[in-house]
A and B are shown apart, each in its own frame.
Chain A
């Protein structure tokens, strides 16, 4: 299990407007592409220095492919990263202020303290 790699996905997609749109429109395509091209990128290095060992396990990949932010919370993905990216994708569909943000929280109400550990 790699909370780090989940966070790396959320971090690198959230900061790139093109990737945000691709993730919204076709999450399976984007996640597959990202794992093949970016999961092993050492972000401040040239491609020749890529890592060799990063990959999602099946539950992580499925959570990302299905836009399942509840599963990401359970897996210990950093909730700030998840929230920020999911707001970017879905807040635009709001019919009233904060509608998506409130629904996001409501879908997590079955979690009690302590929440899943986010330490990486």
Chain B
């Protein structure tokens, strides 16, 4: 059976690519520290030597739209073109093409449906920065096949937080039951407290540092019980109007497992939002 060699949860910050590649007067003062942290985080994936990446993210109104909005969607395609005009325009993100791993996509869809998750699917999916940001930070060679899993954290009505955890738990079991010798890493990105298009955006820190502190503690310690007890669809409005992206972290806590202490934890307090990086090794840390 396949093995999950790493579970990785991270914020996705579309400004990283531009900040880390900028030089001279264009290079922001925080770029060097940010790059150092990303290189250390990248090493946690490299050490696990994965063959396939399952990528959990959320389309930001690029391909998925309000006339036909899935809650959870799995890509099943041989290739995924990536990044969109408005992401090139605002963030300077490059266009990319990633290979797909269709056998694992089919396995996740079949087994997920049979486990009670009515997953949508797409055979032609252009992915966005929720997936390409972690490719850029963690595997910039973009050389491994992927299975994208999109969640709706964006267009209410949204699934309940516990449903994200449950889907993560199911994804863990489903991948571990995949009849394959391949080594799988599951990588998901979301947000801590975040405000977009509201009065608290682009402040000197994230909009709710206290929420961020508690969130990092829940994730790092695998404290699913307290997280699910305290986080509701209503409560997530309070830390910032885009904080529902935290539910992708909750999905990844489900993949990592209840009580699973992260093997690697790092954070970076930036303007606008806090960055956070977590890695678990379900089968023990690689040598």
Chain A contact residues, CB within 8 Å of chain B:
4, 7-8, 11, 14-15, 17, 42-44, 73, 78-84, 87-88, 91, 97-98, 101-102, 104-106, 108-111, 113-115, 118-120
Determine the residue in chain A with the shortest Cβ distance to B202: A101
Query: A114-B237, A118-B156, A120-B66 are contacts. A109–B196 as well, Cβ < 8 Å?
Result: no
Provide the B193-205 mask, 1 if CB < 8 A to any CB of A, else 0: 0011111111100
Chain B contact residues: over half helix, strand or loop, or mixed?
loop
CB of B232 within 8 A of chain A? no
Chain B residues within 8 Å of A119, by CB: 156-157
Chain A residues within 8 Å of B68, by CB: 44
Partner of B90, one of A84, A105, A109: A84
The answer to whether A11 and B61 touch across the interface, beta carbons within 8 angstroms, is yes
Can you list 15 A-B contacts with CB-CB less than 8 angstroms, sorted by A residue number?
Answer: A7-B66, A17-B89, A43-B67, A80-B60, A80-B197, A81-B61, A87-B90, A98-B202, A105-B195, A105-B200, A111-B199, A115-B198, A115-B241, A118-B156, A120-B66
Determine the residue in chain B with the shortest Cβ distance to A107: B199
The answer to whether B84 and A15 touch across the interface, beta carbons within 8 angstroms, is yes
The answer to whether A88 and B67 touch across the interface, beta carbons within 8 angstroms, is no
| Complex CA–CA separation, A104 to B157 (angstroms) | 26
Partner of A108, one of B85, B155, B199, B237: B199
Partner of B89, one of A8, A11, A73, A88: A88
| Complex CA–CA separation, A11 to B85 (angstroms) | 12
The answer to whether A83 and B197 touch across the interface, beta carbons within 8 angstroms, is yes
The answer to whether A104 and B61 touch across the interface, beta carbons within 8 angstroms, is no
Chain A residues within 8 Å of B264, by CB: none
| Complex CA–CA separation, A17 to B237 (angstroms) | 32
A6 CB to closest chain B CB, in angstroms? 11
The answer to whether A15 and B85 touch across the interface, beta carbons within 8 angstroms, is yes
Partner of B155, one of A14, A109, A114, A120: A120
CB of B5 within 8 A of chain A? no
The answer to whether A102 and B198 touch across the interface, beta carbons within 8 angstroms, is no
Q: Which 6 A-B pairs have the closest CB atoms?
A: A79-B197, A83-B197, A108-B199, A119-B156, A105-B201, A101-B202
The answer to whether B237 and A113 touch across the interface, beta carbons within 8 angstroms, is yes
Query: A119-B157, A120-B66 are contacts. A15–B86 as well, Cβ < 8 Å?
Result: yes
Determine the residue in chain A with the shortest Cβ distance to B196: A80
B236 CB to closest chain A CB, in angstroms? 12
Determine the residue in chain A with the shortest Cβ distance to B156: A119
Chain B, 203-256, CB within 8 A of any chain A CB: 203, 237-238, 241-242
Determine the residue in chain A with the shortest Cβ distance to B26: A97
B247 CB to closest chain A CB, in angstroms? 16
CB of B30 within 8 A of chain A? no
Can you name 12 extra interface pairs (CB under 8 A) apart from A15-B85, A105-B199, A111-B198?
A: A8-B66, A15-B84, A44-B67, A79-B242, A80-B196, A80-B242, A83-B196, A88-B86, A101-B202, A105-B200, A106-B199, A114-B237
The answer to whether A79 and B202 touch across the interface, beta carbons within 8 angstroms, is no
| Complex CA–CA separation, A114 to B156 (angstroms) | 15
B238 CB to closest chain A CB, in angstroms? 6
Provide the B245-287 mask, 1 if CB < 8 A to any CB of A, else 0: 0000000000000000000000000010000000000000000
Chain A residues within 8 Å of B199, by CB: 105-106, 108-111
The answer to whether B66 and A83 touch across the interface, beta carbons within 8 angstroms, is no
The answer to whether B66 and A113 touch across the interface, beta carbons within 8 angstroms, is no
The answer to whether A115 and B201 touch across the interface, beta carbons within 8 angstroms, is no
Chain B residues within 8 Å of A102, by CB: 202
Partner of A80, one of B65, B67, B85, B154: B154
Determine the residue in chain B with the shortest Cβ distance to A108: B199
The answer to whether A83 and B89 touch across the interface, beta carbons within 8 angstroms, is no
| Complex CA–CA separation, A44 to B238 (angstroms) | 36
